[in-house]
Amino acid sequence: MTKKIKLVIIDDHQVVQLGLKKFFDTIEDMEVTGEASNANDAIRLINGTNPDIAIIDISLKGDINGLELTKSIKARFSTKIIILSMHNEFNYIEKALSFGADGYVTKDDPSDLLVEAIRQVMGGSIYLTPQISNKMINKIYSPAKMSDKSDAINLSGREMEILKLIGSGYSTGEMAKMLNISSYTIESHRRNLKDKLKVKNGSALLKWAIQWAKENRDIS
């Protein structure tokens, strides 16, 4: 039997908790191991159940919101985090990524995108929905402390192709199908890109890639 992905739901609306739990009951390789409505209960829940992924809303009961909770969890646990929020504004998304979120999905998105986000994040990718990626491309400013663009000279043709696709909002699976290569190869290219562009993590690579995509729209 395939090991199930363990999820916890952190949301201060019980109807959302129940709805998500019911939905994940229909997904064969996923299970909800607990729910919480505030940051303190969330920390206790994660400490006690050691989930693979926490699905967190930004707006929570109490003094600590979902973004601050994300930062706290990433400092203490290996649990990956997907933000599931009604907010789709650029500043929320950017802050979530800077605080360590591994994915961002809005509550208006189709449920299959949340499932895709979970699987992509479990595979080591940063996940943003196509809509959010497009929003970031449209509103992104030049990333602070971004590696000098001369670093891109060292990229291979395939690496530049993948960098453009990352910046255009494509997932690892989508890129693998488009380029007819394995997801493992895509992830290997991601690691090489981080090394060559001198960026520390997936969030920084995403910012670099979005800027690259914006400035190189003629590259398909």
Enumerate the β-bridge partners of residue 35: 9
pTM for the whole thing? 0.65
Question: pLDDT band at residue 31, thresholds of 50, 70 and 90?
Answer: very high
User: pLDDT tens for residues 167-197?
Assistant: 888 888 888 888 888 888 899 988 989 888 8
d(CA 208, CA 219): 15
Q: Tens digit of pLDDT for each residue in 45-73?
A: 999 999 999 999 988 877 788 988 999 99
> What number of other Cβ atoms are within 10 A of residue 20's Cβ?
19
CATH number of 140-215: 1.10.10.10
d(CA 206, CA 204): 5
What would you report as the CA-atom Rg of the chain, rounded to the nearest whole angstrom? Answer: 17
Crossing angle between the packed helical segments 202-215 and 130-139, to the nearest 10 degrees:
60
Pick the CATH number of 5-127 from 3.40.50.2300, 3.10.50.40, 3.40.50.360, 3.30.160.110: 3.40.50.2300
Write the DSSP symbol of residue 85: E
Confidence of residue 143 (pLDDT cuts 50, 70, 90): very low
Q: Given the DSSP bridges, would you call strands 80-85 and 103-106 parallel, antiparallel or unpaired?
A: parallel
Of residues 109, 91, 36, the one with CA closest to residue 69: 36
Q: Tell me, what's the pLDDT at 95?
A: 82
pLDDT at 220 over 60: no
- Annotated domain spans of the chain: 5-127, 140-215
Unique residue bearing structure tokens 């802050």? 95
CB 143 within 8 A of CB 208: yes
Q: How far apart are CA 26 and CA 150, in angstroms?
A: 49
